[in-house]
Amino acid sequence: MKKIIIGLLVASVLTFGVVTPISINGQDVAYAKSKVTITKKEFNKIKNGMSYKSVKKIVGGKGELLSEVGQKGDPYYTYMIMYYGKDGISNANFTFQGGKLQMKAQFLLK
């Protein structure tokens, strides 16, 4: 069950994209992003099994909630958090289930 839920979250990110442009009249004008950014050094400090609270402490604040499955408090409640790098395109994704980090990925972090 755990692998199915994580697989669905990963598939949704791959299908819909990680970086969502903000468009006005069909013109991309900006990318939605959290005020808190992440570096590759911070990403490398984050390990599976950590809590979101621990991740926030390393990065310096909250990321952007990308998706969630289930209800908070349920043992299989799963959610994905994203942080952008300073360039607004590079990013890192973290998938939590049962309150612990299960999977992480990054794209072009420096």
Residue-wise pLDDT tens digits, 4-61: 655 555 555 444 444 444 444 454 434 455 689 999 999 999 999 999 999 999 999 9
Report the pLDDT value the prediction gives residue 3, as an integer from 0 to 100.
Answer: 61
Q: What is the DSSP letter of 88?
A: S
Number of domain units in the chain? 1
pTM above 0.75, yes or no: no
- What is the spatial distance between Cα 102 and Cα 74, in angstroms, rounded to a whole number? 16
The domain that contains 13 carries what CATH number? 3.30.1450.10
Report CA-CA distances (Å) from 37 to 48, 56, 61, 71, 72: 20, 11, 9, 27, 25
Strands 21-24 and 64-69, by their bridges, are: unpaired
Domain containing residue 12: 2-107
- End-to-end Cα separation, the chain, in angstroms: 34
